[in-house]
Structure 1
Amino acid sequence: MGSPAAHNTDRYYVPTPSAWPFALTVGLVAVVIGVSGYLENSNIGPLPIWLGAALSIYIIFRWFQGIARESEGGLYGAQVDRTYRWAMCWFIFSEVMFFAAFFGALYYARLLSLPWLGGEGTKLATNITLWPGFEATWPSNGPAGLGGEFQTIPAFDVPLVNTLILLTSGFTITMAHHALKEAKRVPCIAWMWATVALGALFLFFQAEEYIHAYNDLNLTMGSGIYGSTFFMLTGFHGMHVTLGTLMLLVITLRLMKGHFKPESHFGFEGVAWYWHFVDVVWIGLFIVVYWL
């Protein structure tokens, strides 16, 4: 008899029914309810956010634990590996479309609706009727000076530092991948811990940036169209960095337990793909949101 993996090369493993997807949905819905309540200044309080986030993180780790156990138990064959690769490709494609929608919203607000409200291309002078005296300049706190005057965050300050951090993290995870393929586990783990640290450092600086924006610059989510698009794009990216850092942490801990082999390590590759995607999105954000 051969190894368990040898017996599962040609058959497709179907896991037993699990309650994790439902439980994770409950946690994420609690987070959404808490955040929406905060944005609407309701009396819900932060409890749903903390409980939902704690439940979601716990479930994610337990779910990952189950998948790791199945993988290391030799239950996954070549067909399962192909399925995971296709699934990860489609997942990243959906994320590309997710951010494309938000970049599209910024493009529409900045390059289409703003000039139109300023009178560009209008023959009936509807801008005078809708927003008399409107100045079509970006960044704008329109409509009607919503949220008051604010200052923007300079691109070549914390955003540039965060750009260098993410670019460096892309290098460190690539070095970790090369080390894993060469069966150099200790250097691989060291590079992975460096990547985790860089991800956490990025989040720290982004939190500092948000605090500075709210307390010193009067730049909030209520600062007109600029404030809403700024926090929508950078905030969702920050959520993806948070998830990516958790994934990197899980992979690093699995490496320390002896998981993954040079010839079979899609769990590592999938997280690396996702992290490179996060890097690319941030470069777009830095150029379009902060610099231009």
Structure 2
Amino acid sequence: MSTHAQPKGYFLPGPSAYPAMAATGALTMAFGLTFWFNGIPHGDLLFFLGLFFFIFTKFRWFGKTISESEAGKHNLAVDTSFRWSMSWFIFSEVMFFASFFGALYYSRVYSLPDLSALHSKILWPVFTGAWPSVGPAGLIPSIKEAMDPWPIPTINTALLLSSGLTLTISHHALRASHRKNAIFWMVLTLILGFTFLLCQAYEYHHAYEVLGIKLSSGIYGSTFFMLTGFHGFHVFLGGTMLSVVLFRLIRGDFTAEHHFGFEAAAWYWHFVDVVWLLLYVLVYWL
């Protein structure tokens, strides 16, 4: 159990290779995805290799930061810097998803009407402007039907909203110094979150095998898989964060007054919930 003493001054960590290692892992993942999506051999292997290295680096890096905190090296100034850092990180994620939502908005509100307008009929007479689109030349394999919001997406919405509620209950239990209750509700949050991922995996299989929706299925397929896929990846990252928080809860690292690690993971999880609500409405219903 940590005493969380408040040191004087501002703690400055020494030089570290972890930022460069994390960047290397992320870059490897990006190359792996690019190769994988374009059919280049071993792109999937490269992606998972980068993912493993990235997670390993984060595990070591955050572990060192946790040990510094438990040693009492972090005071209020460090805590404030962590809060600002997490806030800006979540803001960067907001802009990341905004770019994909923007692509969906532009293609549906501007591109489809323009390509189906009278002045475009000379170049693309077969284009109807229907959604999902088969492209202006009609060369994209037709999709049998768009993804329906029922049942899997609606079930997943209920799962994520419920997980946000259980996480909030866990947080309030910790603030009331009821550690066992906090652990119970955190476990329930993780069960709901990873059930969401299992349901999404089933939905992907149905989309690919039954409905014929792929990344190559024009703007509909690309926006659908990029939005839902990256969101699922963020659910996985959030679940990883909460798993570490659960371990630290069991170990007794957090107190009612000192638990920013818990709060940071909770902020991220609630952000993931909000993104899913937007995605659920804009991708599945409209």
Q: Which residue of 2 aligns with 1:220?
A: 214
Task: Look up the match of 2:252.
Answer: 258
Cα offsets for 1:211-241 (capped at 9, x unmatched): 1111111000010111111111111111111
Indicate the residue corresponding to 1:160 in structure 2. 154
* Secondary structure class of the residue paired with 1:6: coil
Contact persistence 1:241–1:278 (CA under 8 A): yes
SS for the counterpart of 2:121 is helix
TM norm structure 2: 0.95
Which of 12, 16, 21 in structure 2 is aligned with 1:23?
21
Partner of 2:119: 126
CA drift of 1:53 comes to: 1.4
CA contact (8 A) 1:141 1:227 kept: no
* Distance change in 2, residues 1:56/1:146 (3 Å): farther
Task: Measure the CA separation in 2 of the matches of 1:37 and 1:127.
Answer: 34
Q: What does residue 77 of structure 2 align with? A: 79
1:148 maps onto 2:146 in alignment = no
The structure 1 segments of at least 4 consecutive aligned residues displaced by more than 6 Å after TM superposition are none
State the partner residue of 1:113.
Answer: 111
- How far apart in 1 are the matches of 2:152 and 2:264? 29
Kindly, what percent of the aligned residue pairs are identical? 50
TM-score (norm 1): 0.93
2:10 aligns with one of 12, 28, 38: 12
* 1:233 equivalent among 204, 208, 227: 227
CA distance in 2, matches of 1:21, 1:274: 20
In structure 2, the residue matched to 1:122 is: none
* Distance across 2 between alignment mates of 1:191 and 1:93: 27
Unaligned runs of 5+ in 2: none
Structure 1 segments unaligned to the other structure (5+ residues)? 120-124
On the 8 A contact 2:115/2:136 being kept in 1, the answer is no
Q: Number of residue pairs matched?
A: 283
Structure 1 letter corresponding to 2:131? W
The aligned counterpart of 2:269 is 275
Inter-CA distance 143–67: structure 2 relative to 1 (3 Å threshold)? farther
Show the 5 A alignment for 1:27-66: 27-66=25-64
The 3-state SS of whatever aligns with 1:30 is: helix
Q: Aligned AA for 2:34?
A: S
Instruction: Tell me: CA distance 1:34–1:4, structure 2 relative to 1, closer, same or farther (3 Å).
Output: closer
AA partner of residue 273 (structure 1): W
